[in-house]
Structure 1
Amino acid sequence: MLKHRLILAGGMLALAASCSAGAAAVADKNMIRAHLSFLADDLLEGRETGSRGYDIAARYVASQFLQYGVKPKGDKDGYLQHVPLRATHLVQESPVVELRTARGTETLAWLDDYAVSGSLLEDQSEVTAPLVFVGYGIQAARLGHNDYANIDVKGKIVVVLAGKPGSFPTEEGAHFASGDHKRGLAVQHGAVGMVTLQTPVAEKAAPFSKNKDYRHIPAMSWVQADGTPAREVASMQNRVSLSIPASKKLFSQVDLRLDDIYALATANRPVPHLDLNMSMRMFKKSLRSEVSSSNVAGMIEGSDPVLKNEYVVFTAHLDHLGQVKERSGDNIFNGAMDNSTGVATLIEAARLFTASGVQPKRSILFVAVTGEEKGLLGADYFATNPTVPRGSIVANVNLDMPLLVYDFNNVMAFGAEHSTLKGTATRALKKMGMDLIPDPWPEMGLFTRSDHYMFVRQGIPSIFLATGMGSARKDENPGKLWNEFLTKRYHQPNDDLTQPINYDAAARFAQLNYNIAREIADAPVRPAWNKDDFFGDTFSK
């Protein structure tokens, strides 16, 4: 009888322990609130990459990982992965852009007519060359599109429309519309500069006038082992973007008008390629400096003797735009939604794994990355120089700017259509009574504008999660709330803690990410690209 009582007691204790562990693995909104309140505070001065405020934030994340038993996975058995960077500030009074025709020279107005950044390679940059219009400046063999067919741009400045043809698939199109793709092609064809023309579609997504707000914010690149900045080419140091009125001036010496080209683009008809019968002179001075920053990497080790050598990587960018001292009034870009919410979610998801008492089968890396606002630099550096063996990363789930001000009941997962991660995310969502929705902003090209894309470029299936367009409350309009944020708060100082943050929604978002991580980590088969998928075929073979 005593033996049976002891067995029963032991069973009850085991059950209690199991229930306790299960209960502990529930997201805590107050934990998230604590993280968010610290990371978005004025004390951190906007977490500019390479700044003291960013370094404080990085050490905060590392301390949370340590507290929750997340093992260090940075450099030298620590949490921090050093990321060497180069920064450039445009000398504000230096830029000159001139249009030269047989009739004379017209000088364009900086920030009203054109925007330009400093050079990462040169203290002084200058070029004068003929202008050639090459449509969108895209080559996409799979889509039967080649803007460089039958036109010579060697030694010339290419003029390209912002964005992509409307007929292109949304995310594949975002790849071709990216600056990296267009600059790379221009270099291949011998161009010596690039001019990007604003379009009505681009203007709606990102008004040209916003460039004035960012004129004092430096551009950056991570530095390779040979001391050169990554993804920078000497012949592409002279490039500008033009406003719509200034863009129209480039067609003053030809029979075709830019409005005609806009109309063709809107109708998804081919646009012509032609010499514009004018030249452009570009000139600027830059102040360059070496900068140091860090990614923060922690690991939950897997339990399976084989699968623990595979890694699921969760990322969220820790940096924001910093403090612009030249700006009057509120000059701190706190980045509460962009992306303190993502980092707070990342930390809480990591805590849930240790709180559950049940190890995942695969190992999970939680990485807060630097330099996202400067061109996805920290993610690019980590994906290129991982702190785990190359080829061992099986998936990336990226958390960037979840808008946590409403009672969301569905989720956007950019990139999900390209791999088996769509099924994984769908299963995790359905357990919580939610589902996935398609990209509501195809014109914004978000698939290439957040950190997961750097993992895609390394051939790793990846998704980028954000709160969706549905709410459990009838009095909330998520589409309106997103639009208000994107037009009034995105990359502005008022993306701060005064917003009506819904911490219950924040906890649900963290729980969802924990559930997705569990699904990926415990699945018998690693995630895979879909058959004949463009990104899988382009980057994983």
Structure 2
Amino acid sequence: MMRHLLPLLALLAAPAFAKPDADTRAWLARTAELSSDAMEGRDAGSPGHARAIDLVERWFKDARLQPAGEDGSFRQTVPLHEVAVTSAEMRVVAPDGSAVPLKFLHDITPRPATDLPATLGGAMRFAGYCSAKEIGAEAGPALQGKIAVCFGSRRTGRANGAERLAAVTAAGAIALLTIDDVGFLVEPPRWPDAYARSVAHDGVTLPSGLPQFRVNGAALATLIAGSGRLAAAILTDAGLHRDLESFDLPGRFEAKLTTSQRKFTSQQLIGLLPGTDPAKAGEYLLLGAHIDGYGFGEPVNGDALYNGTLDDAAYVALISQLAARRKGKGFARPLLFAAWTAEEKGLLGARWWLQHPTVPKDQLAGVINLDQLRPLFPLKALTLHGLGQNTLADTAKAVAEGLKIGIRPDLEPERNLIRRVDSWPFMEAGIPAVNFIFAFNPRSQEERLYRDWYVRRYHRPQDDMTTPMDLDAAQDFNRFFYLLVETAAHAPETPRLSPKPGT
């Protein structure tokens, strides 16, 4: 706890934020406790996650919320199935028999699957972006029985992951190595990976089929050694969106993989603040944030504990802080407070609730999700997921603008952020939902701080209480959130989906 207490005291004492209000101090203290080392990063189903559930359940009870989980409790149990690559030896063997190892989780990470082979080996062919057009034009027959090496562009106009996999599978490849898009500077790839695990709801088939590997761009030189090509030139051309030439590689890729499987459960919390207007009793407004994190993983700068302070302990803390402020005093509409599990494993907790709702799903009027929030610089504008899609977003826009906070659409849709948070399953289900991101102007100091956080702290042990937060910005967002909840909960009209253009 001392590791987090000292940064907390430093934040509170910082001259720029000398007097955060009592509510912000309380929120920050909750954040520090929930992301402390004692919670061990809150990996879904872990002992640390269980301690976090106990803590937040106490917060819910102290705030006089009512149980809204299963069997009269605050809890809902989510059954899960995991496949993990626990160890791996991978290398590139040259024609002369010499071999260069590829470091597990640092140079290359296998995608765990139920049918991942224990050994794999074969000749390799670099096939550009591995679009169907590229494969069909020249590389199709040449890929038969080989391992496809593809550049994994994240830019519009190039093959996406599903298209690459389909193209190389149809061409007869026996495995797929995807090189990171190192030129995707809006969210550069980060190494090492924390671990190699795939998790799904119990009974759902985990990824299977063609063996797949994610490859660090820095390891491309090892893969193509002896080909006469320069890895730096390929990465530069790909970064500039240029066409890439296909060619056979002289080396052979070999892998020995050890996998394990387990079934386990992880819990999530749902609390209820009853409404005060009988006419709106069947119009629940759900406030959600995910309680799970990464737990322990591959060390980064000597630290193996991924605390998950801003992702997403701070915002489980915030919905709990709102409940504490109310102390059982309801709004017109009833509120559900959800601390989702297994978000980091594929939005599994929120998806499970939608499949097994603890209140009638057709009575869910709207969802306000808190994730992807990084109070690193003054809050001048928010990116709003849901903008133009539902009237709850219209309400959020009006509340923000009343506080002189600008509202923007997502200016980086290629990052696919809207589909990476727990509001997305509700949007897919046709339920009005919103999520927010601190916005910034291009080439500004705010953008520098934002990018730096994603490079050095996102899904890293460094996402902890040492993060230099802007407490004024945090206070401003918290105030916006409280007012949005109050406004939406008292609004005369129920949130609804916006009509699509042309309808």
Fold conserved between structures, TM > 0.5: yes
2:348 matches 1:380:
no
Contact 2:89–2:102 (Cα < 8 Å) also in 1: no
The aligned amino acid for 1:200 is: V
Q: Which residue number corresponds to residue 161 of structure 1?
A: 151
Distance 1:267 1:353 in 2: 53
Q: Which residue number corresponds to residue 517 of structure 1?
A: 485
Q: Which residue number corresponds to residue 526 of structure 1?
A: 495
Distance 1:257 1:523 in 2: 64
Q: Which residue number corresponds to residue 176 of structure 2?
A: 194
The aligned amino acid for 2:28 is: R
2:197 matches 1:222:
no
Distance 1:183 1:518 in 2: 47
How do residues 284-295 of structure 1 correspond to structure 2 at under 5 angstroms? 284-295=257-268
The aligned amino acid for 1:290 is: K
Match of 1:95 among 85, 89, 93: 89
Q: Which residue number corresponds to residue 205 of structure 1?
A: 187
Distance 1:354 1:524, change over 3 A: farther
Match of 2:459 among 474, 491, 495: 491
Match of 2:323 among 350, 369, 372: 350
Match of 2:427 among 456, 464, 473: 456
Contact 1:27–1:511 (Cα < 8 Å) also in 2: no
Distance 1:525 1:202 in 2: 40
2:209 matches 1:235:
yes
Once the two structures are superposed, residues 25-69 of structure 1 have per-residue CA deviations (whole angstroms, 9 ceiling, x without a partner) of x99223312311211222212222222111111121122222223
Distance 1:222 1:112 in 2: 21
Distance 1:235 1:266, change over 3 A: same
* Runs of 5+ unmatched residues, structure 1: 1-25, 140-145, 169-175, 471-475
2:28 matches 1:55:
no
Contact 2:271–2:337 (Cα < 8 Å) also in 1: yes
User: Secondary structure at the residue paired with 1:195?
Assistant: strand
Distance 1:292 1:241 in 2: 28
Once the two structures are superposed, residues 472-517 of structure 1 have per-residue CA deviations (whole angstroms, 9 ceiling, x without a partner) of xxxx943333233223333333332234444454343223223333
Match of 1:309 among 282, 289, 299: 282
Distance 2:30 2:69 in 1: 21
Contact 2:289–2:340 (Cα < 8 Å) also in 1: yes
Report the alpha carbon displacement of residue 291 of structure 1 after superposing the two structures with TM: 2.7
Q: Which residue number corresponds to residue 142 of structure 1?
A: none
Distance 1:346 1:181 in 2: 39
Contact 2:113–2:198 (Cα < 8 Å) also in 1: yes
User: Secondary structure at the residue paired with 1:83?
Assistant: strand
The aligned amino acid for 2:337 is: F
The aligned amino acid for 2:272 is: M
Once the two structures are superposed, residues 212-231 of structure 1 have per-residue CA deviations (whole angstroms, 9 ceiling, x without a partner) of xx2xx35241333xx344xx
Once the two structures are superposed, residues 50-106 of structure 1 have per-residue CA deviations (whole angstroms, 9 ceiling, x without a partner) of 2211111112112222222322222222111111223344233x33254788x8786
Contact 1:370–1:378 (Cα < 8 Å) also in 2: yes
Distance 2:198 2:181 in 1: 26
The aligned amino acid for 2:151 is: L
Contact 1:136–1:165 (Cα < 8 Å) also in 2: no
Contact 2:107–2:218 (Cα < 8 Å) also in 1: no
Distance 1:245 1:32, change over 3 A: closer
Report the alpha carbon displacement of residue 122 of structure 1 after superposing the two structures with TM: 4.5
Distance 1:57 1:463 in 2: 25
Report the alpha carbon displacement of residue 240 of structure 1 after superposing the two structures with TM: 0.8
User: Secondary structure at the residue paired with 1:28?
Assistant: helix
Distance 2:367 2:93 in 1: 46
Distance 1:114 1:277, change over 3 A: same
Match of 2:75 among 59, 63, 80: 80
Distance 2:155 2:122 in 1: 27
How do residues 468-483 of structure 1 correspond to structure 2 at under 5 angstroms? 468-469=439-440, 477-483=445-451
Once the two structures are superposed, residues 452-480 of structure 1 have per-residue CA deviations (whole angstroms, 9 ceiling, x without a partner) of 2333343444332133338xxxxx94333
Distance 1:411 1:454 in 2: 21
User: Secondary structure at the residue paired with 2:384?
Assistant: strand
Identity %: 23
Q: Which residue number corresponds to residue 17 of structure 1?
A: none
Q: Which residue number corresponds to residue 4 of structure 1?
A: none
2:331 matches 1:336:
no
Q: Which residue number corresponds to residue 370 of structure 1?
A: 341
Aligned alpha-carbon RMSD (Å): 4.1
2:24 matches 1:35:
no
The aligned amino acid for 1:437 is: R
Distance 1:375 1:417, change over 3 A: same
Report the alpha carbon displacement of residue 322 of structure 1 after superposing the two structures with TM: 1.8
Report the alpha carbon displacement of residue 404 of structure 1 after superposing the two structures with TM: 2.9
Contact 1:87–1:120 (Cα < 8 Å) also in 2: no
Distance 1:281 1:120 in 2: 18
The aligned amino acid for 1:487 is: V
Q: Which residue number corresponds to residue 115 of structure 1?
A: 108
Q: How does the TM-score come out when normalised to structure 1?
A: 0.73
Report the alpha carbon displacement of residue 296 of structure 1 after superposing the two structures with TM: 1.3
Distance 1:529 1:162 in 2: 35
Distance 1:183 1:477, change over 3 A: same
Contact 1:147–1:273 (Cα < 8 Å) also in 2: no
Once the two structures are superposed, residues 187-241 of structure 1 have per-residue CA deviations (whole angstroms, 9 ceiling, x without a partner) of 7998654321122324773345433xx2xx35241333xx344xx23214x2111
Distance 1:136 1:257 in 2: 17
Distance 2:424 2:162 in 1: 12
Report the alpha carbon displacement of residue 448 of structure 1 after superposing the two structures with TM: 2.9
Distance 1:425 1:246, change over 3 A: same
Distance 1:459 1:294 in 2: 25
User: Secondary structure at the residue paired with 2:485?
Assistant: helix
